[in-house]
Structure 1
Amino acid sequence: MNISVEKQPNCTATLRVEIPSETVQTERSSIVSTYASQARIQGFRPGKAPKKVIEKRFAEQITGELEDRLARKAFDEALQSQDLKVLNFGRPSAFTTGENGAVSFESVLTLAPEIALPDYKGVTINAPSSEVTDEELDQQLQTLRERSADYSDVEGRNAASGDILVIDYTGKLDDQAIEEVVGRPVGYISGREGFWIKLDEESFLPGFAIQLEGAAKDESRTVKVTVPEDFPVAELREKELTYEVTVKEIKEAVLPELDDEFAAKLTGDKTLEELKDILRERMGAEKQRQIDDMKVNQIVEHFNTAVDFELPDALLRQETQSQADSLVQQSAQSGLSQDEILAQRDEIFASAGVQARTNLKTNFILQEIARAENLSVSDQELVGHLAQVAASRKENPKKFIKQLQREGRIAGIRNSMLVGKAIDFVLEHASVEEIPADQPETSEA
């Protein structure tokens, strides 16, 4: 078998193959024999039809299967003889049969990128301590008290910072009702009756509630605010809205005492000290999760900065579309209309393209690290992982795995697990420098 590979830009190559007539004839005879033994043709007993009849009756099927077999043989030999890292062998084309019976064809391959690995042992990572401080614990306890607060009517004074106001309000833009300007319902932005709002800077729209400080019960005020530039309703961004607001009630929070009775109400039977232990453990676990994410993000940025290489166009397009679909879904969930999403189409695809490139580069680098360190995912590990996923979804493990096999998703899951192992390996060999909890992490490595 004569095989040649011509590498081209963007991780592609053209594979050209010529297969000797002897090999072609052997494969063809095998296929014809199989058809002859299984075919049912009128006038002949099963398995007794002449091969010439078989070849004529099933000519198209035999040719198709022959080309598939020859292509698979060529691909297998190419992997062994050409030292290729092939992601996709493509669709064989230009099948021709020479006068001597030899068959030739070509196929466009998608190759894994050629990567010169950067240093991946001893990467410097900056991360805060996972220890939960007494101050953080006190803040969490205060949050729990606020969630359990009762609210009493304020008598004898006007509204002050931290109070809860019950208000009626209507909004306008350029002296028109907001919904008339936008042309569709916009929810709470247009107006409400009996709306509860805390008197602080960030409640409702930034700067809205603070203008009600000092108001008396039943007092009406005109409040003007500028809508943030990232507000979900595009028509209102950076526009000044005017609200007519009436304060119907002024309430203040009455916090429960921080004692064993409070702890027992939250937990059923725990003391305050036991509640603190529970909170400290949960907060520590969440803090560690955030720190782990922080470390992975720094690893990703380090590798994407340290090395560059070509990416397969087909994979880049596929990943970009996947990221764009995700961004569109997030936009829809945040309240943007289809027209607003379409108006941001270019920005969405630009952002998706950047993230897609980062994702693919990181994935290929980590796969290369896994290869260099002989990391692998055994069948036992794979099945164990899938069984855990099935259990979390309350599904039968065997049915779940068979479904994944039918959908062709097993290889992708195995690859994700391998990439996870590579990340763990890099983190295990990283140099972690602790930073103060209030200092932003850096990604220099």
Structure 2
Amino acid sequence: MNITVEKQPNCTATLRVEVPSDAVKSERDRIVAAYASQARIQGFRPGKAPRKVIEKRFGQEISGELEERLARKAFDEALEKEQLKVLNFGQPSSFSETSDGSVTFESLLTLAPDFSLPDYKGVTVAAPSAEITDEEVDQNLESLRERFADYSDIEGRGAEMGDLAVIDYTTTLDGTPLEEAVGKPVGHLSGREGFWLKIDEQSFLPGFAAQLVGLNPGDEKSATVTIPDDFPVADLRGKDVVVELTLKELKQVELPEVDDAFVEKIGGGKTVAELRELLGKQLEAEKKRKIDDSKVNQIVEYFNGLVDFELPEELLRHETQSQADSLVKRGVQSGMSEDDISAQQEEIFATAGMQARTNLKTNFILQEIARVENISVTDQELVGHIAQIAQSRQENPKKFIKQLQREGRIPGIRNSMLVGKAIDFVLEHATVEETSAAPEETSE
């Protein structure tokens, strides 16, 4: 075969192939012979039908298989001779047969990015101790008390800091309803009925809670708040918004005593000591998870800051859409409306695009580390991992594997495992510096 590869931008290349007539004839003869041996044609014994009959009867199928075989051989030869890292060979096209019987065709290849690995052993990462203090257990215990608290109506006094208020409210900017003034959805800031909030400076907007102090159920008030500079809707930052509110109910929190009866009620053991021990173990496991996530994020940031290279456009488009879908899903789960999402569409896709680029770059870097370090995922490891997934979903492992095969998801799972092994390798060889800072929470 005469093979040429013309590399192009964005990790693509055009593969051009010319197959000599004798190689074409030899491959066609093998295909026709296979059809002749298996075909059942009326008037002929099995395997005895003349070649012309076979070619006339199965001409389209023979041509299709010939093209497929020639393309497959060309791809294999190109991989060997050109030392290409091909992600996708594309669909061969422009098949044509010359007068001497040779065949030419071409295909658009998607290549893995070409780059040099940075130093990946001894990367410095910062991480706090995973030890859990008594104060952290106390804070968690207090959160449990709040989750199982009772609420009673307050009578005979006005609202105070720490109370719970139930309010109806609407908002305006320069006398115009907020969404109308801004020209886009602003979520819960536009107004709500029966809205619960704790009267403290951490609730709602800065300066709002203090204006509720002294109000009684049934009271109405016009409160003015200044939108902070980090508010999601940029058009409102620094603006004074008027909140017209009615205090519907005023409630106080009645926290349960932490005793053995409380422990039994929440299923945390039999005694307060057992509950504290359980909380300590849960907090330690969660803290270790956050520390590990933080280390991974630092490694990703390190690699992406040192290495830059082109990415395959098709992969980038697909990953960007996937990230955008995830952002929309999380937005819906957090209470965003369709209007909210529509108004932030450009921001969503911009964020998704940046995350997609980071994800793909990191993936390629870790795959290359795995290649250099001879890291691999065995079939046994792959099957075991898939079986665990099936078990967690309470599905039959064999049926689950077949479903994944039909959907073409097995290679992706293997790649995820390979990337996981590569990041573990980098972390094992990292230099860890202890810090007093708490690990940052990561979004899923």
Q: Same fold (TM over 0.5)?
A: yes
- 1:116-265 mapped onto 2 (5 Å cutoff): 116-154=116-154, 157-167=157-167, 169=169, 190-193=191-194, 196-216=196-216, 218-226=218-226, 241-247=241-247, 249-265=249-265
The Cα RMSD (Å) is 3.1
1:190 counterpart letter in structure 2 = G
The unaligned stretches of length 5 or more in structure 2 are none
Residue by residue, what CA displacement relative to the aligned partner does 1:300-331 show, whole Å, maximum 9, x if unpaired?
01001111222222222222232233334444
Query: 2:86, 2:112 within 8 Å by CA — same for their partners in 1?
Result: yes
Q: Residues 335 and 240 from structure 1, CA distance in 2 versus in 1: closer, same or farther, beyond 3 angstroms?
A: farther
Deviation at 1:90, TM superposition (A): 1.6
Higher mean C-alpha displacement, 219-228 vs 313-322: 219-228
Residue by residue, what CA displacement relative to the aligned partner does 1:400-428 show, whole Å, maximum 9, x if unpaired?
00000011110111011000000000001
Deviation at 1:187, TM superposition (A): 7.1
1:419 counterpart letter in structure 2 = V
The unaligned stretches of length 5 or more in structure 1 are none
Higher mean C-alpha displacement, 18-27 vs 200-209: 200-209
Q: Distance in 1 between matches of 2:253 and 2:326?
A: 41
Deviation at 1:201, TM superposition (A): 1.7
1:221 counterpart letter in structure 2 = K
Q: Residues 332 and 64 from structure 1, CA distance in 2 versus in 1: closer, same or farther, beyond 3 angstroms?
A: same
Question: How many pairs are equivalent?
Answer: 440
- 1:5-404 mapped onto 2 (5 Å cutoff): 5-154=5-154, 157-167=157-167, 169=169, 190-193=191-194, 196-216=196-216, 218-226=218-226, 241-247=241-247, 249-267=249-267, 269-338=269-338, 340-404=340-404
Higher mean C-alpha displacement, 183-192 vs 206-215: 183-192
Q: Distance in 1 between matches of 2:437 and 2:345?
A: 38
The 3-state SS of whatever aligns with 1:225 is: strand
Q: Residues 109 and 286 from structure 1, CA distance in 2 versus in 1: closer, same or farther, beyond 3 angstroms?
A: same
The 3-state SS of whatever aligns with 2:224 is: strand
Query: 1:129, 1:437 within 8 Å by CA — same for their partners in 2?
Result: no
Higher mean C-alpha displacement, 198-207 vs 358-367: 198-207
Q: Residues 150 and 317 from structure 1, CA distance in 2 versus in 1: closer, same or farther, beyond 3 angstroms?
A: closer
The 3-state SS of whatever aligns with 2:83 is: coil
Higher mean C-alpha displacement, 41-50 vs 182-191: 182-191
The 3-state SS of whatever aligns with 2:383 is: helix
Q: Distance in 2 between matches of 1:375 and 1:34?
A: 41
Q: Residues 288 and 16 from structure 1, CA distance in 2 versus in 1: closer, same or farther, beyond 3 angstroms?
A: same
Deviation at 1:8, TM superposition (A): 2.6
The 3-state SS of whatever aligns with 1:436 is: coil
Q: Distance in 2 between matches of 1:411 and 1:273?
A: 48
Residue by residue, what CA displacement relative to the aligned partner does 1:58-109 show, whole Å, maximum 9, x if unpaired?
2222111101101111111222222221111122223233343222322222
Q: Distance in 1 between matches of 2:92 and 2:170?
A: 67
Q: Distance in 2 between matches of 1:263 and 1:334?
A: 31
Q: Distance in 1 between matches of 2:322 and 2:27?
A: 41
Deviation at 1:228, TM superposition (A): 6.2
Higher mean C-alpha displacement, 149-158 vs 349-358: 149-158
Deviation at 1:183, TM superposition (A): 11
The 3-state SS of whatever aligns with 1:26 is: helix
Q: Residues 31 and 264 from structure 1, CA distance in 2 versus in 1: closer, same or farther, beyond 3 angstroms?
A: same
Residue by residue, what CA displacement relative to the aligned partner does 1:217-250 show, whole Å, maximum 9, x if unpaired?
5544332335667878999887655444444554
Deviation at 1:289, TM superposition (A): 0.7
Q: Residues 310 and 37 from structure 1, CA distance in 2 versus in 1: closer, same or farther, beyond 3 angstroms?
A: same
Deviation at 1:141, TM superposition (A): 1.3
Large movers: runs of 4+ above 6 Å: 176-188, 228-239
2:373 counterpart letter in structure 1 = E
Q: Distance in 2 between matches of 1:166 and 1:3?
A: 75
Higher mean C-alpha displacement, 380-389 vs 88-97: 88-97
Higher mean C-alpha displacement, 351-360 vs 164-173: 164-173
Q: Distance in 2 between matches of 1:383 and 1:290?
A: 28
Deviation at 1:399, TM superposition (A): 0.4
Q: Residues 60 and 153 from structure 1, CA distance in 2 versus in 1: closer, same or farther, beyond 3 angstroms?
A: closer
The 3-state SS of whatever aligns with 1:41 is: coil
Q: Residues 399 and 30 from structure 1, CA distance in 2 versus in 1: closer, same or farther, beyond 3 angstroms?
A: same
The 3-state SS of whatever aligns with 2:95 is: strand
Q: Distance in 1 between matches of 2:252 and 2:117?
A: 61
Q: Residues 26 and 296 from structure 1, CA distance in 2 versus in 1: closer, same or farther, beyond 3 angstroms?
A: same
1:16 counterpart letter in structure 2 = R
Query: 1:233, 1:336 within 8 Å by CA — same for their partners in 2?
Result: no
Query: 1:137, 1:280 within 8 Å by CA — same for their partners in 2?
Result: yes
The 3-state SS of whatever aligns with 1:44 is: coil
Deviation at 1:434, TM superposition (A): 0.7
1:324 counterpart letter in structure 2 = A
Query: 1:177, 1:190 within 8 Å by CA — same for their partners in 2?
Result: no
Query: 1:331, 1:341 within 8 Å by CA — same for their partners in 2?
Result: yes
**TM-score, normalising length from structure 2?**
0.88
Q: Residues 239 and 378 from structure 1, CA distance in 2 versus in 1: closer, same or farther, beyond 3 angstroms?
A: same
Q: Distance in 2 between matches of 1:149 and 1:34?
A: 78
